[in-house]
Structure 1
């Protein structure tokens, strides 16, 4: 499952929405390894690498390097910023218990570390502990802007049975021209969950995809899929990376779904590439990608038993509304 980050950098890109859909070569299956010497990076450089590593095509290339380096540095000198970065990396692998323990230690050292409060609130929310997540958001009072606190709080409340109210409250609390990228991201998620894809797109259409986190790009793709604009997805996502095998599983899944529904039924390249990626994940019993695997067996290669198997594994890790809906769908399909 791709989890949303709270901060990211944005640059402008352009994509050719009217071109013919791109199809990959048959041997483009999975990301190639890259090498970088992280040992000589200072703390700010590590943070830049961490931020960049959440962009499309980057999330797995640097994960191992970042995790090893931050683990070593945290063991040697557990500063709040190093602890925050290390917890972020662990969160990506759904190692929530370890990540939460580190955020707890960070906040004992520095109770005013805003990003750690936000990260902790997000992890608690993903685990379904909405009361604790809301309390964590409210601990930001007097530490940061009310816009940040409102976004954090209403995000949690929207997962706790108050979606429509939270959407309106958050939208009304911040004028649109002053909304942060993260607020726009949260509002777009809420709008899509309310089955308002046009409104969802309006919230994020000005945000550049090239430097956005994968979670936002996945949301962007889901909006266009909901609108039935499959060509837009097929044209845009491949253009975000130089090497197509670097596309994340969640994005390959959206490409496969778009290709399956596209008016040219002879297109099979993305579906074939996703099938190969799925085979690799299953071989590794890769629970981190359980959400994508469950969707694959529900929406692409319909196998209800496998869909339910992976949906149950996903539910063990994440308990947002979308995870509940995925489990319910898989249970219904397997009847």
Structure 2
């Protein structure tokens, strides 16, 4: 037995995808059907994080993407695939082409804002969010709040998100995104009880979302509640990101017998990704090396490579943690500069920033003492 595939019977999304594949095999020139199928694959990728869905989404669109001027909808869907693979430059290129053809394409502007925010390009991200106001004020507001939260204005973001909370019922597709946005903003403001309630609201509305599960698990691990993470992720070992969180919970809970095979499994997965040239999970690999393999030097190198690609709170955190553990605080300078420029306030990052500053001061004093300086 090489692998046990997840059960897909009695699942509405899987059934819809299977039916659409059968229909496309009969009517291969139907672009609307192909685009709908690609969108469904992307939906399942967000839920299950199985990278094969990304390949299948792009394959469904391939005949139209070969055209000299692909349909804007095809470009936006391919940009989604490229964004998921962290190919941000080519994703932005697709989006720019789509926007030139359809200047009011809301999906393109929203995805563009998301990518620019991940890259730390906040002014451009806000401008992209602003283009959504005439199309959907709620989406534009959540988009703008997310940018504000990571660029020094979490209080403004929190108030803006609260304003929209009454307008988005739990049955709305926007509800989970709104709850996650409120939860993360609350964490950054050190409102832990409020953050937990927002996470629980999101989980109740969308319990299978992989991104949400990872964010909720991270929150619980920071609260030193590993048993809840174990219960949450016990059935999610196929997902690399969630398996990592499960292993971190096992270490936190002292379950060494369960932890050992999961560490071995993660090592194999990260090695296979490196062989394929797939560097999507650099941040997770850095966390794995730092917290589970106790290899801060390798973790720091991975965190630095990850920082070249994306600049989110979690990327900043692992770079700072690895620099401290490796006793090389100067290598965290890009993260420190980002914190200063973005004016981001986050309780964990503030603590790490103080630790790094003390390491730098301590190193400076040691050098002066060695060379007979004023502190000698």
TM-score normalised by L of structure 1: 0.80
Mapped contact 2:38–2:58 kept (Cα < 8 A): no
The corresponding residue for 2:55 is 64
Superimposed CA distance per residue, residues 50-108 of structure 1 (whole angstroms, 9 cap, x where no aligned partner): 2122112x431222222344344222362222111110001011111111011111111
Q: Alpha carbons of 1:285 and 1:198: their partners in 2 closer, same or farther (altered >3 Å)? A: farther
CA distance in structure 1 between the partners assigned to 2:244 and 2:143 by the alignment: 28
Between 154-163 and 170-179, report the one with greater CA deviation: 170-179
Q: How far did 1:301 drift?
A: 1.0
Residue 143 of structure 2 is aligned to residue 152 of structure 1:
yes
1:270-318 deviation digits (Å, cap 9, x = unpaired) = 3332233233334445321101011111211111111111101110110
Partner of 1:163: 154
Give the SS at the match of 1:187: helix
> Matched residues in 2 for 1:167 and 1:135: separation?
20
Contact 2:176 2:205 in 1 (8 A): no
Please name the residue that 1:192 is paired with: 187
Mapped pair 1:49 → 2:41: yes
SS in 2 for 1:274: helix
Specify the alignment match of 1:117 in structure 2: 109
**Alpha-carbon RMSD:** 2.9
Task: State yes or no: 1:78 paired with 2:63.
Answer: no
- Select the structure of larger CA radius of gyration: 2
Cα deviation for residue 263 of structure 1 reads 4.4
Q: Name 1:11's counterpart in structure 2.
A: none
**Structure number with higher relative contact order (C-alpha < 8 Å, ≥ 6 residues apart):** 1
> Post-superposition shift, 1:147?
1.8
Residue aligning to 1:88: 80
Contact preservation (8 Å) 2:230, 2:249:
yes
CA apart distance, 1:211: 6.2
The 5-angstrom pairing of residues 98-247 of structure 1 reads: 98-144=90-136, 146-175=137-166, 178=169, 180-206=175-201, 207-208=203-204, 212-239=208-235, 244=237, 246-247=238-239
Listed one character per residue, the Cα deviations across residues 169-215 of structure 1 (whole Å, up to 9, x for unaligned) are 32244328647221111111222333444322211313358764321
> What are the equivalent positions in structure 2 for 1:309-324 lying under 5 Å apart?
309-324=301-316
Alignment partners' CA distance in 2, 1:85 and 1:71: 11
Paired with 2:38 and 2:176, the residues of 1 have a C-alpha distance of: 22
Unmatched runs of 5 consecutive residues or more in structure 2: 7-16, 328-376
Q: Write the distance in 1 (CA, Å) between the matches of 2:195 and 2:126.
A: 24
Match of 2:242 in 1: 251
* Corresponding residue number in structure 1 for 2:372: none
Q: How many residue pairs end up in the alignment?
A: 302
Supply the distance in 2 between the matched residues of 1:28 and 1:309 (Cα, whole angstroms). 32
Q: Cα distance 1:334–1:28, how it changes in 2: closer, same or farther (>3 A)?
A: farther
Residues 82 and 90 of structure 2 are in contact (CA less than 8 Å); yes or no, is this contact kept in structure 1? yes
- Residue 252 and residue 121 in structure 1: after superposition, are their counterparts in 2 closer, same or farther (change >3 A)? same
**Structure 1 pair 288/134, CA: closer, same or farther in 2 (3 Å)?**
same
Deviates more, 1:87-96 or 1:210-219: 210-219
Aligned equivalents of 2:63 and 2:204: distance in 1? 34
Are the aligned partners of 1:117 and 1:137 in contact in 2 as well (CA < 8 Å)? yes
Is contact 2:37–2:60 with CA below 8 Å preserved after alignment? Answer: no
Q: Tell me the CA shift for residue 165 of structure 1.
A: 3.3
Contact preservation (8 Å) 2:41, 2:56: no
